[in-house]
Amino acid sequence: MSDEKRTGDKPVPDNVVNYLNAAQLAELHKIEGFGWNIKYIRHPLFQDPVVFVSSADGNSIGILEDDGRLNLEYDIETREE
């Protein structure tokens, strides 16, 4: 049995701009210049989406906070950990 929780949802939806606010979009455009991109968007029940981004080499993962900050010291468990 698989522990996959997504049921047909893509890790990064096609309409990603609908999940990001203005501050997050501005920061995303900045960090994309350094090779970062959205890895996936997590949708916790009854909470705002959480946007995970990864570095170009895949060695760093962070959260794009609501205020646009890139948080590399988050306290959320991911499946890779």
Single-letter code of the amino acid located at 17: V
Tokens of 80: 């890779």
Domain ranges of the chain: 16-71
> pLDDT tens, 3-32?
555 566 777 777 888 889 999 999 999 999
Report pLDDT for 43. Answer: 82
Mean pLDDT of 22-51: 93
A 10 A CB-CB count for 79 gives 8
Tokens describing residue 31: 């960090």
Q: Is 33 helix (H, G, I), strand (E, B) or coil?
A: coil
Question: Residue 80: pLDDT above 60?
Answer: no
Give the whole-angstrom CA distance, residue 50 versus residue 6.
Answer: 15
pLDDT tier at 77, thresholds 50, 70, 90: low
